[in-house]
């Protein structure tokens, strides 16, 4: 049986911070909450037990059951775009980012979430995967984190901590300094986060934990493989073991919050960066010595019953498990309205009384009224996506979603209220709706690339 931790109650940064001083206002009243954001890598819709009984995720399920589940929560179809949106409240395409990126994604003066929270008196920390610029000169501390640790690039080998072969393969760092360490990547990320929580004093804190799990390559110790014997394929057994290891580690994070005595004033936000990639090749030869190190075969999750997968803008690629957990303030419940990763920065800033500078153009909205239950039905809204390499765009208004190729020659229309699995393309029978959403798509596309990083900037 896999172990389970059950929560008992269930020098640019300094210069740029001066640029933002005076642009923020803080609300008085309740103490500012600590904020723990847990981001999972490549977790699909069906990779949590509360969506799929074949998945064993007791700690995640316990948090979701006691929290507010967002059942139409959207992200990008791949990792760097989602991370850019989370940090800025803006669509990734505004920065020219539509796919995983080793080059720097954000201009150095971007008003990021950690910068905003620092202005509100927060200590800020990232432990895990950054992937918004893989050079040490572009490390998270440059963008507002007091402390950062983990992978500057993307997913890494679980024990050698190497990214794909190339200039950024050596990517494991502490505060922008490349280091070598021993241990499983999930344990290292969790240990750093647990220790950081334990060292905090009375100041409010923001801890962002973007795990590399369950991204390939996966390889787990025998103790995590226990209980996966019904899966005939070894690579998929290691995926399930990776998921169990991840779930246990999330239990450790919650236990650390409780041990610190701050559980009553800590908000936890949980989501995945994109949908699963079911047939991801575990021994991907892009990773150093992959053929020799890792179990061969597919090692991805599931998005069923949703259509599509990571890299696609069907629902399976962009609709992910998500919830807010804060028992002292939030009653358990389910919200079946569209929300988006671009909403998280406006929501968290609103919660702690941060007002952005006038120059900031958020695409997201403050969804706290929806999460907290003070707003029963949200105002209608538009959501927008651009897929990898600008090959496809999509827009959702109300229940209608349009997917269009870059040249506009291929368009698909779905009514998600009656067809959430996108089995019936209605484009040929709903010409007026296609025209309306095509105009919306053009309107959003015109706003793209307004904040592309300038290579001549100096960090």
pLDDT at 5 over 80: no
Strand 123-129 relative to strand 205-210, pairing: parallel
Q: How far apart are CA 121 and CA 33, in angstroms?
A: 11
pLDDT at 15 over 50: no
Q: How far apart are CA 129 and CA 151, in angstroms?
A: 5
Neighbouring-strand partners of residue 298: 281
63-102 confidence digits (pLDDT tens): 999 999 999 999 999 999 999 999 999 999 999 999 999 9
φ and ψ at residue 250, rounded to 5 degrees: -65, -40
The answer to which of 201-205, 285-289, 314-318, 337-341 has the lowest mean pLDDT is 285-289
Count Cβ atoms within 10 A of the Cβ of residue 4 and give its class: 0-12 exposed, 13-18 middle, 19 or more buried. Answer: middle
Q: How far apart are CA 119 and CA 26, in angstroms?
A: 9
The answer to which of 157-161, 202-206, 271-275, 376-380 has the lowest mean pLDDT is 376-380
pLDDT of residue 379: 85
* Structural domains of the chain ordered from first start: 33-372 (3.40.720.10), 382-445 (3.30.1120.10)
Q: ∠ CA(274), CA(100), CA(285), 5° rounding?
A: 100
Strand 68-74 relative to strand 172-174, pairing: unpaired
Cα 411 off chain centre by: 28
pLDDT of residue 6: 42
In whole angstroms, how large is the CA radius of gyration of the chain?
Answer: 21
Q: How far apart are CA 323 and CA 200, in angstroms?
A: 25
pTM listed for this prediction: 0.93
Q: How confident is the model at residue 389 (pLDDT cuts 50, 70, 90)?
A: confident
Average pLDDT over the chain reads 92
pLDDT, mean of residues 101-122: 97
């Amino acid at each position: 049986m896999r172990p389970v931790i059950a929560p008992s109650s269930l020098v640019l940064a300094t210069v740029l911070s001066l640029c933002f001083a005076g642009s923020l206002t803080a609300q008085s009243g309740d103490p500012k909450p600590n904020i723990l954001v847990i981001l999972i890598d490549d977790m699909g819709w069906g990779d949590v037990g509360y969506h799929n009984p074949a998945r064993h995720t007791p700690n995640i399920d316990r948090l979701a059951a006691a929290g507010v589940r967002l059942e139409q929560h959207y992200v990008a179809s791949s990792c760097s775009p989602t991370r850019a949106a989370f940090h800025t409240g803006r669509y990734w395409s505004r920065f020219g980012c539509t796919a995983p990126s080793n080059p720097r994604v954000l201009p150095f003066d971007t008003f990021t979430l950690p910068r905003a929270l620092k202005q509100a008196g927060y200590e800020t920390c990232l432990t895990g995967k950054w992937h918004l610029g893989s050079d040490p000169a572009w490390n998270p501390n440059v963008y507002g984190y007091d402390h950062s640790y983990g992978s500057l690039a993307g997913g890494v080998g679980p024990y050698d901590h190497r990214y794909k072969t190339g200039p950024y393969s050596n990517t494991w760092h502490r505060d922008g300094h490349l280091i070598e360490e021993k241990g499983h990547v999930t344990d290292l990320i969790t240990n750093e986060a647990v220790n950081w929580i334990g060292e905090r004093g009375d100041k409010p804190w923001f801890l962002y934990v973007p795990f590399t799990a369950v991204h390939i390559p996966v390889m787990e110790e025998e103790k995590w493989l226990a209980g996966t014997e019904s899966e005939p394929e070894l690579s998929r057994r290691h995926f399930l073991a990776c998921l169990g290891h991840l779930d246990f580690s999330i239990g450790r994070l919650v236990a650390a919050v409780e041990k610190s005595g701050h559980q009553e004033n800590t908000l936890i936000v949980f989501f995945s960066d994109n949908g699963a990639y079911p047939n991801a090749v575990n021994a991907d030869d892009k990773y150093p010595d992959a053929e020799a190190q890792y179990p061969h075969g597919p090692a991805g999750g599931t998005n069923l019953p949703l259509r599509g997968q990571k890299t696609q803008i069907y629902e399976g690629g962009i609709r992910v498990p998500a919830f807010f957990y804060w028992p002292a303030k939030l009653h358990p419940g389910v919200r079946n309205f569209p929300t988006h990763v671009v909403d998280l920065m406006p929501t968290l800033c609103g919660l702690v009384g941060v007002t952005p500078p006038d120059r900031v153009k958020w695409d997201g909205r403050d969804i706290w009224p929806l999460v907290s239950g003070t707003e029963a039905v949200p105002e209608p809204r538009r959501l927008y996506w651009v897929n990898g390499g600008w090959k496809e765009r999509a827009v959702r208004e109300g229940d209608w979603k349009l997917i269009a190729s870059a040249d506009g020659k291929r368009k698909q229309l779905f009514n998600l209220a009656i067809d959430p699995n996108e089995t019936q393309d209605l484009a040929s029978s709903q010409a007026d709706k296609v025209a309306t959403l095509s105009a919306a798509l053009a309107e959003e596309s015109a706003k793209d690339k307004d904040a592309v990083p300038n290579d001549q900037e100096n960090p």
